[in-house]
Amino acid sequence: MAEQAAKPSSQKEPIKASELDPKWKYELQKLHGAEGLMRCFQCGTCTSDCPVARFTDNYRPRTLIHMAQLGLKDRVLKSDTLWLCSACFTCTDRCPQDVEVASVIRVFRNQAAESGCVPQVFRDQAQSLIETGYAFKIPELRLKKRESQGLPPLPKGNPESVRKVLKGVKFFEPKQEPIPNEQQ
């Protein structure tokens, strides 16, 4: 019972046949990284070896894969637990079925992000990227300090050319509300 209570809302509600998208799994299989989705036979190696799953009852890679196989598209893409994966690739390396679990999770995240469902931290990095070319805004003081530390100047980030090459990439179009940090 305690286990059930700990499950996130995306897995608690009874499943209605009307919310299933039976074609989603076939769409996913055509995407780079998710080709192996249907090879998963639910052995649970990914979840049992997942370092994040040891410290939260909310994140279960096997469950997410199963939900996708069933066609629970909205539940997967709107699940905030999707973003807990630390991309350590242990599941990918140990999966006996070569599902490339971490890459399938990444495909879920990409689809969620396209629909505007993404934690704030990724938006901040995107903002920094298009402004500076780097993933973080490196303070001017830090750049100046390099000289006194005997370091050569940091090569320029050339944000103009970053903006040019990212023209037409979906994620850099206007977005909806972010998912808050679990602690906030």
Partner 1 sequence: MNSNRYLIFLGCSTPYRVSSYEISSRKVLAKLGVELVEMPEFNCCGLPFDPVSHETMLILAAKNLALAEKEGLNILTLCPGCAGTLRKVNRILKEDKTQRDMVNSHLKEADLEFKGTVETKHLLQLLKEDVGIEKIKASVTNPLTALKVAEHNGCHLLRPKEYFDFDDPEDPETLNALIEATGATCLDYIDETECCGAPSVGVSDKVALQLARDKLNHIKMVDAQALITVCPFCHIMYDTNELRIEKTFNEVYGIPIIHYPQLLGLAMGLTPEELAFGDLRVNPQKVINLAQGAHINHE
Q: Which of 93, 115, 131, 144 forms a contact with partner 1 (CB under 8 A)?
A: 93
> Tokens 């005997």 sit at which residue?
150
Binding mask 27-56 for partner 1 (x = CB under 8 A): -----xx-----------------xx-xxx
3-state secondary structure of 119: strand
Q: Assess 141 for contact with partner 1 (CB under 8 A).
A: no
Q: Are 114 and 170 in contact (CB under 8 A)?
A: yes
Q: Which of 4, 149, 176, 177 forms a contact with partner 1 (CB under 8 A)?
A: 149
Q: Helix crossing, 101-114 with 61-70: angle to 10°?
A: 60
Q: Which of 150, 174, 176, 177 forms a contact with partner 1 (CB under 8 A)?
A: 150
What the block records as the tokens of 149 is 């530390």
* Dihedral, 96, 36, 106, 56 alpha carbons, nearest 10: -40
> Tokens 């100047």 sit at which residue?
153
Given the rule CB under 8 A, which residues bind partner 1? 32-33, 51-52, 54-56, 59, 83-84, 86-90, 92-93, 100, 102, 106-107, 109-110, 113-114, 118-122, 125-126, 129, 133-136, 138, 142-143, 145-146, 149-152, 154-159, 161-162, 164-172, 181-183
